[in-house]
């Protein structure tokens, strides 16, 4: 009886750990700034990153948004900062659900985006 219970509990503990650990997404609140003196800025990196990987769907001027919500526009510093938590969840660090296509930014760039977002979004 005790033995059976053990496996039962182990199964659910495993499931729980996996939901967090193997699920593979990280939220803005979980990710801590490891480089407070970051040299990554909106102008030297983030703007170019978004223009290359996101704005052909997300820009106001996009001629074919491919379903990208109209509220999610990344054309200005202010709009990017306002949406930073959602951008983080979809594209920064190990979050890879945006862009949706087969072409994906390298992890190194996603990590830079993550650092910029959690270290104060310097302009």
Given 67, 70, 106, 108, the residue binding ligand HEC (CB under 6 A): 67
Minimum gap (Å) between residue 106 Cβ and ligand HEC: 12
Angle at CA 79, nearest 5°, toward 78 and 81?
65
Given 40, 46, 93, 98, the residue binding ligand HEC (CB under 6 A): 98
Minimum gap (Å) between residue 71 Cβ and ligand HEC: 8
SS3 at position 15: helix
**Beta strand extents in the chain (DSSP E only):** none
If the CB atoms of residues 36 and 67 are measured against ligand HEC, the closer one turns out to be 67
Given 46, 68, 93, 114, the residue binding ligand HEC (CB under 6 A): 68
Report the distance separating Cα 54 and Cα 52, nearest Å: 6
Q: Where do we find the tokens 């495993």? A: 14
Report the distance separating Cα 4 and Cα 22, nearest Å: 26
Within 5-34, the residues that bind ligand HEC by CB under 6 A are: none
Burial of 117 from C-beta contacts in 10 A (0-12 / 13-18 / 19+):
buried
Number of other CB atoms surrounding residue 16 within 10 Å: 10
Minimum gap (Å) between residue 6 Cβ and ligand HEC: 40
Number of residues that bind ligand HEC (CB under 6 A): 20
Minimum gap (Å) between residue 123 Cβ and ligand HEC: 18
Q: Is 117 in the site for ligand HEC (CB under 6 A)?
A: no
């Amino acid at each position: 009886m005790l033995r059976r219970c053990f496996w039962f509990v182990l199964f659910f503990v495993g499931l729980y750990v996996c939901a967090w650990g193997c699920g593979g997404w990280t939220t803005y609140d979980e990710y801590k700034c490891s480089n407070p003196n970051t040299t990554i800025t909106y102008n030297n990196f983030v703007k170019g990153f978004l223009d290359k990987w996101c704005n052909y769907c997300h820009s106001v001027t996009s001629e074919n948004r491919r379903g990208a919500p109209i509220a999610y526009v990344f054309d200005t510093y202010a709009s990017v900062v306002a949406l930073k938590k959602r951008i983080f969840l979809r594209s920064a660090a190990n979050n890879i659900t945006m862009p949706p296509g087969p072409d994906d930014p390298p992890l190194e760039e996603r990590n830079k985006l993550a650092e910029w977002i959690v270290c104060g979004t310097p302009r």
